[in-house]
Structure 1
Amino acid sequence: MTITNVEDRRMLDFARMWAPYGGPQPDEILVHFGMPPTRFYQNITRILRTAAPGQIPVAERQLLYTVSARYCAADGSSRRRRRVEPVPGGRTR
């Protein structure tokens, strides 16, 4: 499916521009799109899932999914998640 919705195109272009830098700051998303980062990245994920595979290069698509995953936590938090690293003994810190 080709991206024809103007707002979807704007969001995707914005996300693509900032993805190499870890994504835009939350306040930039709010200023440009009037929504919190969680909703913005839920929209990006939806767009990526519905866009034709050839429309976005695989490496760039994966980068966008990675950046989106930082915000799309199950609890709906809009803050960036810190990475949880395993420690010896099977516990996490």
Structure 2
Amino acid sequence: MPRQTEDQNVLEFARKWEPYGGADASEILLCFGLDVDSFKARLHRTLTRQTVPDLDPDLRWRLLRYAATR
């Protein structure tokens, strides 16, 4: 089974937490060792530098909007 990249992990985490308005700071720190702003910056880079073929366009837009709120 192929190992997920860190970008894929960030995206999957954001997908999971999107319906709840995003994860809280402690969950992000525990999973990624990042503060919220750093996580959002990483998510934004992931969404803008590569295409994610199985990502619904509406979900992509919501995640980009979430990532922009710092």
TM-score above 0.5: yes
Q: Structure with the greater relative contact order (CA < 8 A, sep ≥ 6): 1 or 2? A: 2
Aligned mates of 1:25, 1:66 — CA distance in 2: 17
Q: Counterpart of 1:47?
A: 46
Aligned mates of 1:61, 1:68 — CA distance in 2: 10
The residue identity in structure 1 corresponding to 2:51 is A
TM, length-normalised to structure 1? 0.66
Q: Percent identity?
A: 32
The C-alpha deviation readout for 1:19-40, integer Å capped at 9, x for no partner, is 1111000110001000101111
4+ long deviations beyond 6 Å: none
Q: Counterpart of 1:7?
A: 6
- Structure with greater Cα Rg: 1
Aligned mates of 2:7, 2:20 — CA distance in 1: 21
The residue identity in structure 1 corresponding to 2:49 is T
Q: For the aligned residues, what is the CA RMSD?
A: 1.7
Structure 2's unaligned 5+ residue stretches are none
Q: Pairwise mapping of residues 59-70 of structure 1 onto structure 2 (< 5 A)?
A: 59-70=58-69
TM, length-normalised to structure 2? 0.85
Aligned mates of 2:4, 2:52 — CA distance in 1: 17
Q: Counterpart of 2:35?
A: 36
Structure 1's unaligned 5+ residue stretches are 72-93
Aligned mates of 1:20, 1:66 — CA distance in 2: 13
The residue identity in structure 1 corresponding to 2:59 is E
Aligned length: 68
